[in-house]
């Protein structure tokens, strides 16, 4: 060791080059793991596309299920999934946002609110089949909603409610205190501050949370099977829009249904090899729908971030 207190230039350079090597090593490990995960997803996706490639075509989208693999399509499953998603979104958004606003803006900070908050987070970890059992008992038998689009939509809404609540609370919290104080300082009530400022400025985060929730719900199979989705449906629910006044029809809510993951499950479980191609094609389409929804979420977040910067 040198007698002087400070390090010599050589010592500094030697030590620094070793520390920078470590830095590079960490980057290399991180990149390898990241690309490994992405590669698995990509391989999965392309495998599905390759296996199902023979089935992609207009007929596949416009045909009902059939006993002959080459005639079968996903029309009833795709329509069912879309209708269920509409119900899920329409229920989960207002309920989840209202719950989040209450917890974030109104609820007093005490032990009771604390318990509610912890349990909202816990709900996100409840296995989805439990929701299915709850829905079977409550919606199907107790409320007599039947094994319907409505029941499925409500069940999946329950399932994604914690996701929507947590995402909404986070984006409400991101609105700076200074903005709230500015509005309060002008004489706004708590509700006016919420509706005129906090909610509009957090719309991006709320919609992102909703879409991420929906993209989880779209692939859920267990709860839908539990409430009794049919796997072979050769008809469409009644159209929500009609030609005569009042132009809206809610019969479709009570209709029986099937959904994309159910259809896939049905095809996969058949011994006939030809149906495996159908399952792969439907899987690729389902995965595509999920990725598209995530892309929309990213786009919304980007749009709102550009408009509002604190």
CA pair distance 40, 188, nearest whole angstrom: 52
CA dihedral 291, 296, 298, 300 (to 10 degrees): -170
The window from 48-56, 193-201, 256-264, 293-301 that contacts other proteins (CB under 8 A) reads: 193-201
Decide: is 111 part of the binding site for other proteins (CB under 8 A).
Answer: no
Residue from the set 178, 241, 246, 273 that interacts with other proteins by CB under 8 A: 178
# residues contacting other proteins (CB under 8 A): 22
CB of 171 to other proteins, least distance (A): 14
Residue from the set 63, 86, 197, 290 that interacts with other proteins by CB under 8 A: 197
The window from 10-18, 79-87, 129-137, 183-191 that contacts other proteins (CB under 8 A) reads: 183-191
Decide: is 181 part of the binding site for other proteins (CB under 8 A).
Answer: yes
**Residue 61 contacts by C-beta under 8 Å, 6 or more apart in sequence?**
73, 74, 75, 78
268-306 in b/e form (b: 16+ CB < 10 A) is eeeeeeebbbbbbbbbbbbbebeeebeeebeebbeebee
CB of 180 to other proteins, least distance (A): 8
CA pair distance 156, 128, nearest whole angstrom: 9
Tokens 């929309």: give the residue: 296
Which residue lies nearer to other proteins by CB, 47 or 196? 196
Which residue lies nearer to other proteins by CB, 68 or 109? 109
CB of 110 to other proteins, least distance (A): 9
CA pair distance 38, 213, nearest whole angstrom: 21
The DSSP call for residue 143 is S
Decide: is 3 part of the binding site for other proteins (CB under 8 A).
Answer: no
Residues of this chain that interact with other proteins (CB under 8 A) are 108-109, 176, 178-189, 192, 196-197, 201, 307-309
């Amino acid at each position: 060791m040198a007698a002087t207190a400070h390090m010599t230039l050589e010592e500094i350079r030697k030590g620094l080059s070793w520390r920078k090597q470590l830095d590079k090593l960490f980057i290399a490990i991180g990149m390898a793991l990241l690309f490994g995960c992405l590669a698995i997803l990509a391989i999965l996706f392309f495998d599905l596309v390759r296996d199902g490639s023979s089935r992609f075509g207009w007929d596949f989208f416009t045909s009902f299920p059939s006993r002959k693999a080459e005639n079968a399509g996903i029309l009833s499953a795709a329509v069912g999934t879309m209708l269920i998603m509409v119900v899920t979104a329409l229920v989960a958004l207002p309920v989840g946002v209202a719950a989040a606003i209450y917890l974030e803006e109104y609820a007093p900070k005490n032990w009771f609110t604390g318990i509610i908050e912890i349990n909202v987070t816990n709900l996100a970890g409840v296995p989805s089949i439990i929701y299915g059992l709850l829905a079977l008992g409550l919606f199907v038998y107790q409320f007599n909603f039947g094994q319907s689009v409505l029941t499925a939509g409500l069940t999946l809404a329950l399932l994604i409610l914690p996701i929507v609540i947590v995402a909404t609370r986070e984006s409400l919290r991101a609105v700076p205190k200074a903005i709230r104080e500015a509005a309060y300082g002008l004489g706004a009530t708590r509700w006016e501050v919420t509706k005129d400022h906090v909610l509009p400025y957090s719309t991006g985060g709320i919609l992102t949370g909703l879409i991420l929730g929906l993209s989880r719900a779209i692939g859920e199979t267990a709860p839908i099977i539990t409430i009794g989705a049919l796997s072979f449906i050769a008809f469409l629910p009644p159209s929500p829009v009609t030609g005569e006044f009042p132009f809206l029809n809610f019969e479709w809510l009570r209709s029986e249904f099937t959904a994309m993951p159910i259809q896939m499950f049905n095809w996969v479980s058949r011994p006939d090899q030809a149906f495996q191609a159908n399952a792969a094609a439907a899987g690729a389409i389902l995965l595509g729908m999920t990725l598209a929804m995530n892309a929309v979420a990213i786009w919304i977040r980007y749009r709102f971030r550009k408009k509002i910067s604190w």
